[in-house]
Structure 1
Amino acid sequence: MKKSFNETLSRVEGRDLIIERVFNAPRELVFKAFSDSTHLANWWGPKGWTTTNYRMELFPEGVWHYCMRSTDGHESWGKSTYKEIVEPERIVYIDAFSDKDENTIANMPEMMITLSFKEYDGKTNLICRTQFESEDELNKIMEMGVVAGLTESWDCLEIHLEAAKED
């Protein structure tokens, strides 16, 4: 499959959602954008949202606890537990909706996310595979607009990577 720069592709395979995009940046930099708290806070979230990382422990069983805030004051808290980190190839973590005290929100899906960073003609092909407990949970998240939200977030990542390459 020919991958074009700046196009986010998505598909569903059973209870997995796969989203991928080619970034015009070296793999090490794209990996760092996901693994360094300062980088992550500069781009994570859809347009118009800011992210504050309250805890980021990049090691197996380490926790990333963060809050995204919209310009109108809406908050969305998340808590992730890292399962595997293979620099600069892969990050695997369990992602959940949480509150400010790191308690996961009942009745909201937990997701196993695998980020794969692949070299691609001097660029990086980022593949995000999100596995859900059931197709119903996947559908719930799809109805919340996860593909559009992640596409916007990755648009912000693209801008961040261009600025980071100039530094």
Structure 2
Amino acid sequence: MTVISTTPDPATGTLTLVAEFSAPPKDVWRLWADPRLLERWWGPPTYPATFREYEFTVGGEARYHMTGPDGSRSNGFWRLTALDEPRSLEFEDGFADQDGNPTASLPTSSTRVDFDEVPAGTRMTIVFRYDTAEELERVLAMGMAEGIQGSFGQMDALLAGA
């Protein structure tokens, strides 16, 4: 399996995921940069994502929804704050209303993704940072750790060309 670890740290308000791929960083980067590829893995297998807007530039925004098995939709947004192709990207990630506008009642994370070349290919480290331990605990109670493991576990098949 791709995902090596998923580690919550309430003391720092972070959730860290580490995964390795047998592909170079530029190929893993492409899974983030291309919204049609992103749709094939962002969201757990039973909650696929649809990106309605996607501007992959610093200051750009994304609006998306995940559709559950029962047809229900969960909306989200990103605000891209840094891009260093193919080494890292940073964005705000949060919940949104049906129009894609941020929802203040649910936590937003500052997220950083690093792509490091390793002998086997790429090690990707993602840190979701919340303002408080309570916000982290809230998203963990909603199933975020399990959700991201399932989501990121779908990347191998895309890198293999499936």
Question: Which TM class, normalised by the smaller chain length?
Answer: over 0.9
User: How many residue pairs align between the two structures?
Assistant: 160
Moved over 6 A (4+): none
Give the structure 2 partner of residue 99 of structure 1: 97
Give the structure 2 partner of residue 58 of structure 1: 56
- Say which SS state the counterpart of residue 94 (structure 1) adopts: strand
Contact in 1 for aligned 2:6/2:149 (Cα 8 Å): no
- Flag structure 2 segments of 5+ consecutive residues without an equivalent: none
Contact in 2 for aligned 1:65/1:79 (Cα 8 Å): yes
Confirm or deny that 1:12 pairs with 2:2: no
Shift of 1:76: 1.0
Shift of 1:7: 3.6
Q: Distance in 2 between matches of 1:51 and 1:17?
A: 21
Q: Distance in 2 between matches of 1:7 and 1:85?
A: 23
- Say which SS state the counterpart of residue 39 (structure 1) adopts: helix
- Say which SS state the counterpart of residue 58 (structure 2) adopts: coil
TM-score (norm 1): 0.90
Shift of 1:105: 1.5
Q: Distance in 1 between matches of 2:80 and 2:120?
A: 28
Give the structure 2 partner of residue 69 of structure 1: 67
> Which of 13-22 and 132-141 deviates more?
13-22
2:32 pairs, out of 31, 34, 47, with 34
- Say which SS state the counterpart of residue 85 (structure 1) adopts: strand
Larger helix fraction of residues: 1
- Say which SS state the counterpart of residue 49 (structure 1) adopts: coil
Give the structure 2 partner of residue 127 of structure 1: 125
Contact in 2 for aligned 1:44/1:157 (Cα 8 Å): no
Give the structure 1 partner of residue 82 of structure 2: 84
Contact in 1 for aligned 2:2/2:152 (Cα 8 Å): no
Give the fraction of aligned pairs with identical amino acids, expressed as a percent: 25
- Flag structure 1 segments of 5+ consecutive residues without an equivalent: none
Give the structure 2 partner of residue 140 of structure 1: 138
- Say which SS state the counterpart of residue 91 (structure 2) adopts: strand
Residue type of the partner of 1:75?
R
Deviations 1:10-50 (A, max 9, x none): 22342121111111221111111011111111222101222
Contact in 1 for aligned 2:87/2:116 (Cα 8 Å): yes
Contact in 1 for aligned 2:43/2:147 (Cα 8 Å): yes
The root-mean-square deviation of aligned C-alpha atoms, in Å, is 1.4
